[in-house]
Amino acid sequence: MPAVHDYPTKPDEGLVKLAQKGDMLAFEELVARHRDKIYARAMSMMRNEEEALDLSQEAWVKGWQRLVQFHGDSSFVTWMTRIVINLCLDQIRKNKRHRAESIEVMDEESGGVERQMPVVTVNPTEGLERAELRARIDRALGQLSQAHRTVMVLHEFEDLEYKEIAKRMECSIGTVMSRLFYARRKMAALLAGLKRDDTK
Partner 1 sequence: MNIETELKLQAHLDGELTPAETRDMESLLARDTGARELLAELTMVKTCLPVNEPEVKVPETREFYWSKIHREIGRTAKPEPIRTRWWQALHSRLVWSTGGIAGIALAALFLFDGRGLSTYSQPEEVSNLNEEMNSISFRSEAHQMSVVYLFDRDSGASEAAEVPVDSLVQ
- Residues lying near partner 1 in the complex (CB under 8 A) are found at 24, 28, 31-32, 35-36, 39-40, 43-44, 49, 53, 56-58, 60-61, 64-65, 111, 115, 119-121, 123-125, 130, 133-135, 137-138, 141, 152, 155-157, 159, 161-162, 174, 177-178, 180-181, 184-185, 187-188, 191
Q: Which residues of 41-50 are buried (b: 16+ CB within 10 A; e: fewer)?
A: bbbbbbeeee
Nearer to partner 1, 58 or 104 (CB): 58
Nearer to partner 1, 5 or 37 (CB): 37
CA–CA distance, 155 with 139 (Å, rounded to integer): 19
Cβ 77 to partner 1, closest distance in Å? Answer: 14
Q: Which residues contact 49 (CB under 8 A, 6 or more apart)?
A: 43
Cβ 101 to partner 1, closest distance in Å? Answer: 22
Cβ 166 to partner 1, closest distance in Å? Answer: 12
DSSP output for 33-95: HHHHHHHHHHHHHH--HHHHHHHHHHHHHHHHHTGGG--SSS-HHHHHHHHHHHHHHHHHHHH
Nearer to partner 1, 31 or 92 (CB): 31
Nearer to partner 1, 92 or 117 (CB): 117
Cβ 100 to partner 1, closest distance in Å? Answer: 25
Backbone φ and ψ of 86, nearest 5°? -65, -40
Nearer to partner 1, 96 or 106 (CB): 106
Cβ 61 to partner 1, closest distance in Å? Answer: 5
Nearer to partner 1, 115 or 167 (CB): 115
Cβ 149 to partner 1, closest distance in Å? Answer: 12
Q: Is the dihedral of CA 23, 28, 29, 34 positive or negative?
A: positive
Q: Is the dihedral of CA 16, 21, 22, 23 positive or negative?
A: negative
